[in-house]
């Protein structure tokens, strides 16, 4: 039985989200991405739970639902 780690490195988080590391880095700067943990001066990690919650909050039934939500959000 293997257990998944609670925290992911930047490359692991990018792989889970199916995006490039540079995209994840850019999202960190702009605030668009999932919450991250600064684990050291040059080390960033991501909580698996935070990534799942972030993705769930951006899950839509269809395009119209996404547009309607975007129109309401500031």
Work out how many domains the chain is built from and give that number.
1
* CATH number of domain containing 31: 1.10.10
Evaluate whether residue 55 is within a structural domain: yes
Evaluate whether residue 1 is within a structural domain: no
The pTM of the full predicted model, rounded to 2 decimals, is: 0.80
Q: Higher confidence at residue 34 or residue 74?
A: 34
Q: What is the pLDDT of residues 1-39, one digit of tens each?
A: 567 789 999 999 999 999 999 999 999 999 999 999 999
Is residue 28 within 8 A of residue 44, CB to CB? The reply is: yes
Evaluate whether residue 11 is within a structural domain: yes
Evaluate whether residue 2 is within a structural domain: no
Evaluate whether residue 43 is within a structural domain: yes
pLDDT in the model for residue 16: 96
Which domain covers residue 36, as residue numbers?
Answer: 7-72
Evaluate whether residue 47 is within a structural domain: yes
């Amino acid at each position: 039985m293997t257990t998944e780690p609670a925290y992911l490195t930047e490359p692991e988080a990018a792989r889970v989200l199916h995006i490039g590391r540079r995209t994840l880095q850019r999202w960190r700067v702009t605030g668009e991405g999932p919450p991250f943990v600064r684990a050291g001066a040059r080390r960033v990690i991501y909580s698996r739970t935070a990534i799942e919650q972030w993705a769930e909050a951006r899950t839509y039934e269809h395009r119209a639902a996404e547009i309607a939500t975007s129109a309401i959000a500031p």
